[in-house]
Amino acid sequence: MIHTMMRKMLFGVLLVSIVTVAYNIVFREGQQTRRLPSSYYAMEEQSSRKSRVAVKTDIPETEMDSNTDPQYTQENLAVTTTVVSVTQQENEDDVTLNEGQTANSPVRLTGTSHVRLLVLARMTTGSKAISRFFSGRPDFFYAYEPGHMLLKFVFNGNVQDDGHANLERIQVNLRDLLHGIYHCNLTNHPYFIQGFNVKSSVYKRRAFLTKLPMPITEETLTGICKSRDHVIAKVVRMTDLMQFTQMLQNDDVKVLFLARDPRGMAASRHKRFLHAIDTHVNKSADGVRPLHPRLVDYVVEHCQWLETNYKAITEGSTWLQNNAMLVRYEDMAMYPYKVVPKMLQFVGINGSSPAEGYAPHADSVSKWRNYFSFDEVKAIQDLCSDRLYNMFGWKKVQYKSDFNDETNTFFGPIPKL
């Protein structure tokens, strides 16, 4: 009899254990947010461990500190006079969840109608303008400069420095953050919420959420993200698109690769970062003013970045070649009515073109000629290979007479990829 009771007790314990294990498996599988297996990531886990540093817990009084990129305190003049002349319709008064929507509701994936978009660019290349074609729409959740957040709040780095050495250390974290953004899962990214809670938050303003009451919580941002049909992230601190390919493919992300003439980039970058310290009057013994060392670095890094990512979209995986679109700044500035509909078609967005009301201003494309002298332009051109200029259809200045001829734009048709 005792043996019979013991067998029954053991059987009961075993049955309870089986039920408990089964419940946990089902429950966790249903609750767990999908995450890429480590095999999807091209970077080594050792690099990942090194780059995951503690997040600063203090929220500064003001978002604009001495390290803040002036790009985020004023508009890019060349861009605002070219493309972004449309009246902005901010939808921040109606930031609510859809009926029945909660912060824990699943992401709305409606087949191909759900768009995940990455705008890949460099600083002072017109990225805010191209992003605003999409970010101003009420059906988009806009993540503005995730890399800026990482440098500012996680790595305490110089946000003005977009050199390869400074940016390489944030790439693993940037990849993970983008994955979280595209799935509206910010659980492991408290600095993203921190960025929305600083005073005069640029992230909040760019996302058209300035009237959102403070403090902004993870649940609030997650709920807003999930209530939107589409997600867009603008990134100017990604070094190599190839390293992100598997994550982007797994998350079904479309890529708009924005390329700007190095001379135009140099003029905008100099005006923004170097104008106060480089007066354009210091000349060498032969009368030629040497380029500022930082400007040289800006141009060299820009050209290397262009070549690296051009190679990614032309020689990378078949998936990447089919899901990345090269957009030249010069075309977007001069012919927005032609370029924007092509972008919308590529991304898969239906409806009227947001280019309506945008006024093309061709003069911005060659403003660098009025900013730099002929000798300076020649020096800037020599920092980049002829091959790179040919890749993107830009034309180098050869003679001063051509430089002074206002009818010359120094760019031709973009070669077919």
CB neighbours of residue 106 within 10 Å:
8
- Rounded to whole angstroms, the Cα distance separating 140 from 386 reads 39
Domain ranges in the chain?
46-367
Mean per-residue pLDDT over the chain, rounded:
75
pLDDT of 180 reads 97
SS3 assignment, position 74: coil
- Rounded Cα–Cα distance for residues 107 and 226 (Å): 5
Would you state the structure tokens that stand for residue 272, as one six-digit string?
Answer: 């923004």
Task: State the pLDDT at residue 353.
Answer: 55
Q: What is the pLDDT of residue 50?
A: 39
pLDDT for the residue 336:
83
Q: Encoding tokens for residue 321? A: 């070649």
Among 15-24, 150-159, 170-179, 294-303, the minimum mean pLDDT is found in 15-24
Options 3.40.720, 2.170.130, 3.40.1000, 3.40.50; which CATH number does 46-367 get? 3.40.50
Name the β-bridge partners of 258. Answer: 327
- Using alpha carbons, list the distances in angstroms from residue 204 to 89, 196, 213: 15, 5, 11
The answer to whether the peptide bond before residue 215 is cis (omega within 30 degrees of 0) is yes
Helix, coil or strand: residue 254: strand
Instruction: Note whether 112 and 188 are within 8 A (CB).
Output: no
Residue 51: per-residue pLDDT: 38
Q: What is the pLDDT of residues 212-264, one digit of tens each?
A: 888 999 999 999 999 999 999 999 999 999 999 999 999 999 999 999 999 99
DSSP annotation string for 105-120 = SPP---GGGS-EEEEE
Distance CA 391, CA 393 (A): 6
Q: Find the mean pLDDT for residues 164-176.
A: 94
pLDDT tens column, 359-371:
555 667 888 988 9
- Asked if residue 410 lies in contact with residue 396, where contact means CB atoms within 8 angstroms, the answer is yes
pLDDT in tens, 286-337: 556 789 999 999 999 999 999 999 999 999 999 999 999 999 999 988 888 8
**Higher-confidence position of 288 and 50:** 288
**Measured distance CA(340)–CA(355) in Å, rounded:** 6
Instruction: Name the pTM for this structure.
Output: 0.73
Vertex 194 angle, CA 36 and 122, to 5°: 65
- The distance of Cα 99 from the centroid of its chain, to the nearest Å, equals 31
Nearest CA-CA partner of 146 in 206, 81, 115, 192: 192
**CB atoms inside a 10 Å sphere around CB 144:** 23
Cα–Cα distance for residue pair 19/32, rounded to 1 Å? 20
Give the mean model confidence (pLDDT) for residues 177-198.
94
